[in-house]
Amino acid sequence: QKEVEQDPGPLSVPEGAIVSLNCTYSNSAFQYFMWYRQYSRKGPELLMYTYSSGNKEDGRFTAQVDKSSKYISLFIRDSQPSDSATYLCAMIKAAGNKLTFGGGTRVLVKP
Amino acid sequence: DTEVTQTPKHLVMGMTNKKSLKCEQHMGHRAMYWYKQKAKKPPELMFVYSYEKLSINESVPSRFSPECPNSSLLNLHLHALQPEDSALYLCASSQGGGGTSNQPQHFGDGTRLSIL
């Protein structure tokens, strides 16, 4: 079983809809959580970084962390075609600088 | 544009060639990383440098040789690669260092490597 599970998609939504992405993890040692966006032929771009349970908002993006359920989410409001990309969740254990990635979810926002 | 710059963007090499990938960051980060990414897969960690010292080697074959000349530069020397080594090679950096940096990593756009 993988330490971090993420649905590969593709997730197809109409423009303007809310995109909902999530990851589950099995190891409670993970304490720091990130979401990255990766366009084709580009490197991952950091979208959100959180380290406590609860919500964090940045523009159209909201990250949620529920450590008790070992579940993290990313919501994208008012989605645009330019949001079409692969979204990777990633997390770090309390001691250590190794990122553990989910497998990535491909998102398609249709005009 | 990312703050982590990688060159070249594309590289085609034969199995007997020697080449190097370069990475540069000017964010004052003291941890730098090399990743390998195959199509439709997440990045896989290869090496971690912390304060210019190699701190993690994820059992990478010796045909990949990393080097960190200073706190801003990271190289990956390639020799006698195999066709299965064709992939996107990503460099990343993060604040702090040591073995307990929990800061987010910032990635470059990678070098797309093809082995003939």
Tokens at A47, concatenated: 């979208």
DSSP B19-37: EEEEEEE-S---EEEEEEE
Mean pLDDT to the nearest integer, B66-93: 96
Reply yes or no on whether the pLDDT at B99 is more than 80.
Answer: no
- pLDDT at position B98 over 60: no
SS3 A102: coil
Is residue B2 scored above 70 in pLDDT? no
Does the CB of B102 have a partner CB in chain A at under 8 Å? yes
Contact A43 B110 (CB under 8 A): yes
Six-digit token string for A80: 């645009």
CA B46 to chain centre: 7
Is B95 within 8 Å of chain A by CB?
no
pLDDT of B97 strictly over 70:
no
Question: Min CA distance, B87 vs chain A (Å)?
Answer: 11
- Asked if A48 and A55 touch (Cβ cutoff 8 Å), the reply is no
Nearest Cα neighbor of A75 from A108, A35, A25, A104 is: A35
Contact: B100, A96; criterion CB under 8 Å: yes
Query: Is the distance from CB of B24 to CB of B42 less than 8 angstroms?
Result: no
Burial of residue A35 (CB within 10 Å: 0-12, 13-18, 19+) is buried
Instruction: Find the residue in B nearest to A4 (Cα).
Output: B42
Indicate yes or no: CB of B102 within 8 angstroms of CB of A31: yes
Q: How confident is the model at residue B1 (pLDDT cuts 50, 70, 90)?
A: low
Residue stretches of chain A with pLDDT short of 70:
95-97
Residue B100 pLDDT > 60, yes or no? no
B79 strand-pairing partners: B18
pLDDT of residue A1: 79
Instruction: Please check whether residue A44 is in contact with residue A56, taking contact to mean a CB–CB distance below 8 angstroms.
Output: no
In tens, the pLDDT along B51-68 reads 999 988 889 999 999 999
Q: Given the structure tokens 């990122």, which residue do they identify?
A: A99
